[in-house]
């Protein structure tokens, strides 16, 4: 039996794309996925570094080819700052399709979460994630595989939703019994291979939110709870409703997902009007001090 390192080397050699006849020069492998691999390449025409995604040799069936080309078409139709733009599409000498997109530098959401950022910052990043997803829904596209590994935080503040390989246009038929996605972030109806709509992505976003915050105020827990309701009818109807509640939480306003108690309401109001509350407390403390010295 061959050692694992030899097998890995052979696999890498077989997978490495032959870019002869294309305007691209291979630089290095960036990562592998279930459908193919992404490489850093240099565009000799424009003198820039870009990313090239090519189908794996073992995934060259008609269905896999169509999935890669469908992903390219979807990316081409979704022009948004939070979605990586596509530059080119073509076929390698061995017949495998590929497409070329912007090379994004940064860190994945799971790597960012490992640094334990403040809750407010987390919520603001989450709202940035919601923007491209909501935009895709407005164009009739559901992502269906939202997870930390598919979110990238760029070096200059960009928040990008990646890997649209299993995205689907609303109303587009799926092969019966086919389950696509990541189990931990997949809506129940998606796991059951039932038709899905935008609320499947709402569920995944709720899972993202829950994975991000750890221990959080009850209002935020309630927001994640509504987003991840097993029954799609009980979830937020769309991403806009979900992001609105998160924005209201950030602004210390009541949220639709949570019925707050009077102590929670008092704390929220005092937090929202912290400066005014501190001035009133300072004034009252001063009055008490004056009364104390006057009566002595």
CATH of the domain at 30: 3.30.200.20
Show Cβ contacts of residue 252 under 8 Å, excluding neighbours closer than 6 positions.
268, 269, 271, 272
Does residue 141 share a domain with residue 67? no
Does residue 131 share a domain with residue 19? no
Digits of tens for pLDDT over the chain (296 positions)? 545 554 454 455 556 889 999 999 999 999 887 678 999 999 999 999 999 999 887 655 788 888 889 899 999 999 999 999 999 999 999 888 999 999 999 999 999 999 999 999 999 999 999 999 999 999 999 999 999 999 999 988 899 999 998 898 876 656 555 667 788 999 999 999 888 999 999 999 999 999 988 788 999 999 999 999 999 999 999 999 999 999 999 999 999 998 888 677 677 777 765 555 555 555 566 666 666 666 66
Token digits for 223? 């927001």
In a domain, 3, yes or no: no
This prediction's pTM:
0.84
Q: What is the C-alpha to C-alpha distance for residues 252 and 271, in angstroms, rounded to an integer?
A: 7
Active site residue 110: no
Does residue 145 share a domain with residue 110? yes
Does residue 98 share a domain with residue 146? no
In a domain, 67, yes or no: yes
- The answer to whether 19 and 92 have CB atoms below 8 angstroms apart is yes
Does residue 37 share a domain with residue 153? no
- Residue 261: predicted pLDDT: 81
Token digits for 155? 């070096």
Among 73, 102, 131, which residue terminates a domain? 102
DSSP code at position 125: H
Does residue 93 share a domain with residue 183? no
Q: What is the C-alpha to C-alpha distance for residues 95 and 178, in angstroms, rounded to an integer?
A: 26
The neighbouring-strand residues paired with 268 are none
**Is 169 in a helix, a strand, or coil?**
strand
In a domain, 182, yes or no: yes
Does residue 239 share a domain with residue 118? yes
- Catalytic, out of 60, 94, 110, 145: 145
Does residue 246 share a domain with residue 111? yes
Q: How many folded domains does the chain comprise? A: 3
In a domain, 257, yes or no: no
In a domain, 179, yes or no: yes
Residues written for the chain: 296
In a domain, 2, yes or no: no
Among 61, 67, 63, 65, which residue's Cα sits nearest to residue 91? Answer: 65
- Residue 271: predicted pLDDT: 73
Residues spanned by the domain of 40:
8-102
- The answer to whether 163 and 145 have CB atoms below 8 angstroms apart is yes
Among 71, 102, 133, which residue terminates a domain? 102
Does residue 150 share a domain with residue 220? yes
Chain position carrying tokens 């029954």: 231
In a domain, 1, yes or no: no
- Residue 166: predicted pLDDT: 87
């Amino acid at each position: 039996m061959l050692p694992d390192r030899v097998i890995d080397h052979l696999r890498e050699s077989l997978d490495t794309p032959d870019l002869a006849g294309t305007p691209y020069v291979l630089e290095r492998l960036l990562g592998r996925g279930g459908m193919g691999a992404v490489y850093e390449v240099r565009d000799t025409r424009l003198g820039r570094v870009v990313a090239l995604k090519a189908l794996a040799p073992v995934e060259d069936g008609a269905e896999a080819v169509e999935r890669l080309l469908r992903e390219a078409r979807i990316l081409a139709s979704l022009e948004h700052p939070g979605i990586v733009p596509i530059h080119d599409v073509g076929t390698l000498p061995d017949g495998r399709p590929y497409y070329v997109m912007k090379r994004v530098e940064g860190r994945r959401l799971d790597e960012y979460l490992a640094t334990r950022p403040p809750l407010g910052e987390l919520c603001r990043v989450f709202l940035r994630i919601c923007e491209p997803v909501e935009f895709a829904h407005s164009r009739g596209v559901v992502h269906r595989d939202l997870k930390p590994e598919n979110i990238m935080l760029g070096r200059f503040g960009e928040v990008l939703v990646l890997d649209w390989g299993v995205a689907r246009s609303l109303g587009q038929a799926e092969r019966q019994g086919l389950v696509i996605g990541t189990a931990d972030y997949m809506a129940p109806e998606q796991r059951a291979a039932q038709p899905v709509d935008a609320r499947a992505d709402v569920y995944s976003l709720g899972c993202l939110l829950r994975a991000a915050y750890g221990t959080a105020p009850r209002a935020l827990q309630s927001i994640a709870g509504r987003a991840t309701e097993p029954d799609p009818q009980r979830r937020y109807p769309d991403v806009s409703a979900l992001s609105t509640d998160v924005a209201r939480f950030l602004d210390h306003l009541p949220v639709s997902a949570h019925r707050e108690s009077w102590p929670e309401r008092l704390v929220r109001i005092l937090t929202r009007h912290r400066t005014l509350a501190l001035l009133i407390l300072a004034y009252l403390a001063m009055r008490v001090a004056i009364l104390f010295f006057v009566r002595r």
